[in-house]
Amino acid sequence: MPHPCARINPAALAVAMAASLAVGSATAAATDLYYERSLMAEAGARCNLFTPQIQSALVSAREQARGAALRAGGSTHDIRAIADRARDRARSTPCDSRDLGIAAQRVRSSFAGYARLIRQDFPGDVGVWRADRSVNSRRPVWKLSQDARQGALQMRLGIAGRPGAEHLMAVATFPDRVPPYTARIVMRDRRLTTGPYLDTRGASLKSLPLHMRIPRSGPFESYSAESRSPSGADLLPSGMASGWAFRFPAAAAAAIAELDPRESIQVEFLFASGPPQRLFLEVGDFTAARAFLAVRAG
């Protein structure tokens, strides 16, 4: 049976694109919205339908819809199949199609305001990614971040730096211990597993603790920090008087972006003596937030 959105319906797309950009409710409509945004994002890139700002907003909204569809109960296999159908449909539709042109104009109208946003929060079940695409060439700033805390250990992880020199970083404070000699990001090994590890044991996924959203004993992949230094005051989160900054390779951010939004990652700090300290963060809409940052607001 063909997908109900196999034909480009400008009126239906207008309703979908005008809908809230926040994660939708747990209904079948989430997968339809993901299909529609995937179709238009693919068609937009192939046919050059949108400005860079509109295209980045559409890609971000597509990834938000993907997260909503997965949280609504869609399987990874089903979501991938929907993306494939949308891609095939977009590639088989002529760029001068009248219906595509009408749908593209509706997208422009719906996303024009969103494309001009400077800051956006991307909430998950537990954590929130905070994105900021304002330009500040004088000092390093957080472009994307999520905070975590456990006892006296406080940390912020995300994308930080100056324009053109932004990296995945963690800034943390260790008031009760000598600073760690390094840190690493640990996550489910995407190459050796078929999907996320979510140890619900009958509980609601919405309230599932982050330590139960990552495998207990692997298989894992990890990325060690490339550098460690005292953090500058510009990157210290509110309430943190001093801290240490750890810079991670770009491959770590790319790996996080490929994880399921429902799972978590672990940041592990290693000390010369004593056990490591670990903090967990929700993957959430990391990919959508990165897409939001991809093109400066204009």
Q: Which of 81, 116, 151 is the last residue of a domain?
A: 116
Model pTM score: 0.84
Task: Count CB neighbours of 202 within 10 A.
Answer: 4
Question: Does the structure show a pLDDT above 60 at 248?
Answer: yes
The pLDDT of residue 20: 38
Are residues 58 and 80 located together in one domain of the fold? yes
Average pLDDT over residues 218-247: 94
- 66 in any annotated domain: yes
Are residues 237 and 133 located together in one domain of the fold? yes
The pLDDT of residue 18: 41
Are residues 214 and 71 located together in one domain of the fold? no
Are residues 192 and 138 located together in one domain of the fold? yes
- 297 in any annotated domain: no
Question: Does the structure show a pLDDT above 90 at 112?
Answer: no
Q: Which of 38, 41, 47 is nearest to 83 (CA)?
A: 38
- 4 in any annotated domain: no
CA 265 – CA 146 distance, rounded (Å): 12
The proportion of the chain whose per-residue pLDDT surpasses 70, expressed as a percent, equals 89
The pLDDT of residue 137: 67
Contact 265, 187 (CB under 8 A): yes
- 85 in any annotated domain: yes
Are residues 280 and 143 located together in one domain of the fold? yes
Are residues 265 and 137 located together in one domain of the fold? yes
- 298 in any annotated domain: no
Instruction: Give residue for tokens 């989430």.
Output: 30
Are residues 154 and 95 located together in one domain of the fold? no
Helix/strand/coil for 237: coil
The proportion of the chain whose per-residue pLDDT surpasses 90, expressed as a percent, equals 64
At residue 296 the predicted structure's pLDDT band, cuts being 50, 70 and 90, is low
The pLDDT of residue 161: 87
What is the count of structural domains for the chain?
2
* Range 181-190 burial, b when 16+ CB lie within 10 A, else e: eebbbbbbee
Question: Does the structure show a pLDDT above 90 at 111?
Answer: no
Question: Does the structure show a pLDDT above 90 at 13?
Answer: no
Higher pLDDT, 7 or 282: 282
- 195 in any annotated domain: yes
CA–CA distance from 161 to each of 168, 232, 272 (Å)? Answer: 9, 11, 28
Q: Which of 61, 91, 116 is the last residue of a domain?
A: 116
At residue 190 the predicted structure's pLDDT band, cuts being 50, 70 and 90, is very high
Average pLDDT over residues 54-64: 92
CA 289 – CA 293 distance, rounded (Å): 6
DSSP state of 15: H
Contact 107, 265 (CB under 8 A): no
The pLDDT of residue 114: 80
DSSP state of 211: G
* Phi then psi dihedrals of residue 215, to 5 deg: -55, 145
Contact 43, 105 (CB under 8 A): no
Q: Which of 53, 85, 116 is the last residue of a domain?
A: 116
Which domain range does residue 63 map to?
A: 10-116
The pLDDT of residue 35: 94
Q: Which of 93, 69, 92, 64 is nearest to 79 (CA)?
A: 69
Q: Which strands, in side-by-side order, build the sheet including 119-123? A: 119-123, 128-132, 141-150, 153-162, 165-173, 244-248, 227-230
CA–CA distance from 157 to each of 1, 51, 108, 168, 236 (Å)? Answer: 44, 31, 33, 7, 11
pLDDT one-digit tens code per residue, 152-172:
899 999 999 887 789 999 999
Please give the structure tokens belonging to residue 130: 């905070």
The pLDDT of residue 297: 52
